[in-house]
Structure 1
Amino acid sequence: MSHNLRVVHKRRQTITSLPLYFSGDLKKKRSKDKDFKAYHVELRGNSLFFYEDETQETYVEKLELSQLKSMQLDSSHKKKEATVFRLSLLKEELHLKMKDADTGEQWRGYILTMAKREVPSKLDLLPGQIKELEEALIQEKRRVSQHSRPVLPPRPAFLKAESVTDSPAPSISTKLGKPECFYNVTRKEAEQMLEENPQNGGIILRPSTVPNNYALTLRQPAKSGHVTKHYRVTSTQSGFVIELDTAVTVSSLNEVIEYFSEKTDFRIHPYTASQTYDTRIEMMPIPPHTSKSIPRAQVAPMVHSQSKDELDLHAEKFPSGEYIYPDDHRPPEQNLKLVQQDSDFKKAISKRRENLYATCDGGNIEITSQQAERRLSGMAEWTSTSSTA
């Protein structure tokens, strides 16, 4: 029996990840309850963990002493009678009953010491018991200092107060997220999902009946058919504890799923709801193209007839007796000037011939005259040719 209790205490230490300062049996009653209910209670850190009995490994309720406002005696202080304390919390009030006054005084000393972070000045305890209180307080302060964040330096005055706000640190499940196989279903609903849809997987993670904890439902093949099993996953400050014969602690819910997948040789995969997909690509018919006809105006071509005045104007531009060169694109007046220049050129040649005859003498006259006539005849031929053209 003692060996089993040691195993239970070790499992509780793994699940809570908190040091044990004090433990014992007591009864608890909330304001809405009529009678007290017996529990085995452990003071770990600054929290009270309630167990149904001494052999239970997982707590059923947790009470944080940081919410304690006051603790008052609610019965006559007699050593042989049960002692009842009334605890006023931030949101509720409850009563704790101890079997006698000595046990009640010990519980009062530990609860107030962890809640106020100091040993009460008025305690009816032995010196050795007070020494244990002081040692537990030193250990708790050391634990809190290791996990607390460093104090931030004062902010400058020119910074706005709303620029930086202190928000509570997210929980592990919120920071790391939940696996795809997590469903908010009951134990019976999880069994039904795995049985009706085995092709979707065999592992479902779901909420536990214990607050802030989880349960894992696993369906695996066996010789006689399929077997469905359920496992408890406890949330702690250091991570998540899979409650097996040998407890396994992991840092996230995703690692919980990975652990079960590895232990089943990846033959069982997480449950994922099936989704329908199309297997054919169908072309939609092209709608007929309807073109809109744009109305067009029909206009008859305009015929311009030349008036008599316009014909007379053209006649005046080209008087009779003058040459017209149809291939020349220059204006007619310039063509007429060329004809006049040609006649002037002929006159200049004949005058030059006369001067040439008058200046020549001796035997050179005949030769010079012959050459001059040849040159002049050549120039005349060129001039007549250009004129004819």
Structure 2
Amino acid sequence: MSAHIRVVHKRRETITALPLYHAGHLLKKQNKEKDFKEYYGEIRGATLFLYKDDTQDTYTEMLDLEQLKSVELDTFYKKKEPTIFTLSLSSEKVQLKLDNPDTAEVWRGFILTVGKKDIPKNLQLLPGQMMQLKETLSQERKRNPKLCRGPTLPPRPMFLKSLDSNNDSTSPPKDKSTTELPSCFFDVTRQEAEQMLKANPEYGSIILRPSTLTNNYALTLRQPTPSGPVIKNYRLTHTNSGFVIELDTPVTASSLNDVLKYFLEKTEHRLHPYVTSQAYDTRIEASPAPKCITLPTAKEVPKAQVAPTLRLQTTEELQSPPVKPEEGEYVNPDDVSPKISHLDDELRRAVQKRRQNIYSNSGREEENQTNEHSFC
């Protein structure tokens, strides 16, 4: 015979030692699984406990909502249809399925409230349900105030203050030991530092980071043990003279580099600072040949268009005018000036015709003279 539901709740509260905020039936599936499995879920503290049914005393699975990054809806809000949303945790992704969209919205509100330590603003809930979320947030803050997240980002250390204050000429010079950061310093939260050490152990085992307390720091390390790796966190309090490592017996150091040196010595240098690996090139490519430089070609100078040169006349030709034959004087055609050779054929024919006329005229005159003597 199964125990009464009240008895079961009392037993679960004794086992988990956490207050109950919300409970109900739901379906759950991981990314590697094909089908959803039915569970009875309870949100106790910042943990979601999953049972096979509502009569089981001990839980089957649990999800740490402190590692919650986001909650994304996979289906739109539709009445009388199942609603599926995905929980993105630091180490895995889990899908939850609710038959009623209103019930799914209540589950989403409680998960975000206990995981983010803040009530979401875009919830579609009734006023009474919003009052339950406010009471849950108040109880969770009183239960463990150290786990409550304040601002989204940790407070900025002194070395990250604005440049205006750093460049102020009236302020005294700052100690260089507080501004020189080791290579293993990262501006991350506690959960992010732990995830970095778990995901990439080959990069190192020690991370320095800002603390949630103003102007303080923290150190997160991953130390191997016979039973498996263990994550530890140490607080570093900043003082005027340096830093204080808050151990059972506090240890002082003048700078963060000295803090890191102290941890390396105490662990016999079996741990190493966390330094991300830099990518290296694996191929050598030949450099491209230089482009040919074409020199500008010399422009062709146009040839000058010069008029043909005229033959210069000699001084004698300029001084002595050409001699004209007297009228009636016989001109021998053979004594013609050498310039006739330069005349064209037409001119030559004219000269020949002129010569024939001269001979014919002279023959007629001689014949007339002979006839006159014969009459006498």
TM-score, reference length from structure 1: 0.40
Q: TM-score, normalised by structure 2?
A: 0.41
